[in-house]
Amino acid sequence: MTPHRVFIVGHEGTTGLRIHERLSDRKDIELLATADEDRKNVEAIKVVAKKADLVFLCLPDVASKEIMAAIGDFPCKVIDTSTAFRTTAGWAYGFPELGESYKTDIATKKHIANPGCHASGMIACIAPLVKAGLVPADYPFTITSLTGYSGGGKKMIGQYESSPKDYFLYAPRQYGLGQEHKHLPEVQHVCGLSEAPIFMPIVDDYYSGMEVTVGIHSRLCHKPVCIDKVQQTLEYFYKDSTIVTVAPFTENSNSGMLNANQLSNTDSMKIYVTGNDERIMVHAIFDNLGKGASGTAVQCMNIALGLPEDTGLVLG
């Protein structure tokens, strides 16, 4: 079998580097590259992209848009990991567990937008409940998300791993205080929400792992909702997935704790339902670098190239 030719633009960043590491030993993939001195040269990038079956763009939004303007008409498929195209018409959204239409779009469309890390957890918890009519599209969600510092990229990793380390880095830090976090538009768009949630992201002093928690007051739903119904709905929605799974209700942690780094170094996501019939919580636990970034990018690449979906993934 002839290997698929894959070109990673921006393989020096956290996500690009992870994708490169994942693909470098695969026999079914041939990695293409520009010369080091040409890694930001658009004309050089175009030359390599013309030879590729699939191109990953692991760049800031502005740079991604510049490269897409240059290669958008090329026959290669493109997976973009920035926020630039996640709500753009004509682009597939790279969360195949949301339904067969999403997986079909990833398989057939030329351009695929990789989800954001926080967004992946929010959408995984909310979308099935809105689709099932349990939670209304105008529900006033308030969401927290705890992440390891690797989600902030090379600069933040350097801050947390420096010696000596700033005193304030030893405690959790809340950010996105202006309620304009860049992942909110895709959450609202994909889930069909009439308004954006209140979102409270928190970064803490550990490398990787993420826990997104969505709270639901049953009295604010348009029809009666109980915790068992939420559990059953999520179990049914993800019943065919081996990557996103729902913990049995008997396994929930009402009497214990949930660990945000539980699935660190894997590409899985596990959903828990906790609380009671009046106040229900849905938690998504995954690795911000795995199912929250490079793991999903590789999963989408597999689907786009007609390969088994979980090839090269680490499932926990």
Which candidate, 190, 64, 182, places its Cα nearest to that of 118?
182
Helical axes 117-131 vs 227-237, angle rounded to 10°: 110
CB-based burial of residue 28 (10 Å sphere; 0-12 exposed, 13-18 middle, 19+ buried)?
Answer: middle
Annotated active-site residue in 58, 117, 125, 191? 117
Residue 168 gets which letter from DSSP? G
Residues paired with 202 in a beta bridge: 146, 174
Is residue 226 part of the annotated active site? The answer reads: no
Token pair belonging to 69: 């303007």
One DSSP character per residue, 92-136 reads EES-GGG-HHHHHHHHH-SEEEPPPHHHHHHHHHHHHHHHTTSS-
Angle among Cα 13, 149, 263 to the nearest 5 degrees reads: 95
Contact 48, 27 (CB under 8 A): no
Sign of CA dihedral 66, 53, 87, 261: negative
Angle among Cα 247, 96, 196 to the nearest 5 degrees reads: 80
As annotated, the active-site residues are 117
